[in-house]
Amino acid sequence: MMTSTPLLSESEIDFVCDLAKRAGDLAASMRETVDIRQKSGPHDLITDADLALSELILKEMGERFPGDFVISEEAQPSERLQEHLKQENHRTWLIDPIDGTDNYVQGDGQYSVMIGLLMNGEAHFGCIYGPATKATYYGGPAFGSWKRVADSQATQYKEETERSFAPPVRIMMGWRDSQTYPWVKKLKEVQSISSGSVGLRVAKILEDEADLYVHLSGKLKLWDTAGPVALALASGLEVGTLECDTLNFPLPEIKHSCPVIIGRKGALTWSRKTLSQTSPL
């Protein structure tokens, strides 16, 4: 059982995980009849489910954590954000109601509900729920990383240990990166792993189904990374960029301006050696 800390109590952790599960199950129930629209293009979709989940999570998180600031992908942050960030030990929740909306629409199951907690701009807790498998992944650096399937008892992941980072390197990339940097998947030492939601990509690394996730294009949004990064750090995974061993969350900016790398120990060194030297970046 996860140990509570002054950051979050056990009941608060249970609340967040239960909320993510309820929201994800709602999305699954809506999928067959959901209305689908384009946001910025054919690979940037929004559905009625995205909006319904956003409204549900914002309402319940706001009621449970009235002193915190809650930001959702599907709702513009209020003007209070600037003042909130000036407070000592400020806490900000980042919500992605459906991470992997394209996957949700396609029905391949590679989507998730993601909730992440930042304190003073650092990732401290994350919860990822995959409705297709009914698996909840949650944790943070002070809590460890955990998995619970449906209503079964949660099990804790062991912290990542030093292992050889040898070929084939099992790499995950998003659609945009695959189009912009097709040469990465053509490298002889690389094995491309199919994936969708960023949160489920971290889960694949924890389950030893992949070695790393790279996002080279930049502009990854903070709600895409807050929860997954907290979970990755809890497991001893490496999180950083092509130049830095850490990843910053630059609120009030809502996106990372740099490439993002999350993977097993050795992922940052391999990425810098293999991707920096031949990348157009």
C-alpha count within 13 angstroms, C-beta hemisphere, residue 153: 3
Domain co-membership, 106 together with 195: no
* Domain total in the chain: 2
Tell which of 131, 156, 181 closes a domain.
156
* CB contact at 8 A, 226 and 118: yes
Rounded to the nearest integer, the mean pLDDT of the chain is 91
- Identify the residue with better confidence: 202 or 31: 202
280 falls within a domain: no
Domain co-membership, 135 together with 186: no
162 falls within a domain: no
Question: How confident is the model over 83-131, as pLDDT tens digits?
Answer: 888 888 889 999 999 999 899 989 999 999 999 999 999 999 999 999 9
The domain spanning residue 135 has which CATH number?
Answer: 3.30.540.10
67 falls within a domain: yes
In 33-189, beta strands by DSSP E: 36-41, 44-47, 69-72, 91-99, 112-119, 122-130, 135-140, 144-149, 155-156, 169-172
The domain spanning residue 268 has which CATH number?
Answer: 3.40.190.80
Domain co-membership, 79 together with 187: no
Domain co-membership, 73 together with 17: yes
4 falls within a domain: no
* CB contact at 8 A, 230 and 140: yes
Domain co-membership, 98 together with 208: no
Residue 38, CA distances (Å) to 27, 47, 259 in order: 18, 9, 25
What's the CA gap between 254 and 77, in Å, rounded? 10
Length of the chain: 281
Does residue 279 have a pLDDT over 60? no
Tell which of 133, 156, 179 closes a domain.
156
Domain co-membership, 122 together with 149: yes
* CB contact at 8 A, 117 and 93: yes
Question: How confident is the model over 156-195, as pLDDT tens digits?
Answer: 999 887 778 889 999 999 988 888 899 998 999 999 999 9
Domain co-membership, 33 together with 146: yes
Does residue 4 have a pLDDT over 70? no
Residue span of the structural domain in which 33 resides: 10-156
29 falls within a domain: yes
161 falls within a domain: no
What's the CA gap between 41 and 245, in Å, rounded? 33
Question: How confident is the model over 209-220, as pLDDT tens digits?
Answer: 999 999 998 889
66 falls within a domain: yes
Q: State pTM to two decimals.
A: 0.92
Domain co-membership, 263 together with 198: yes
Domain co-membership, 106 together with 148: yes
Domain co-membership, 152 together with 192: no
Only one residue has tokens 């449906």, namely 150
Q: What is the phi/psi pair of residue 207, to 5°? A: -85, 5
Domain co-membership, 119 together with 177: no
* CB contact at 8 A, 210 and 193: yes
2 falls within a domain: no
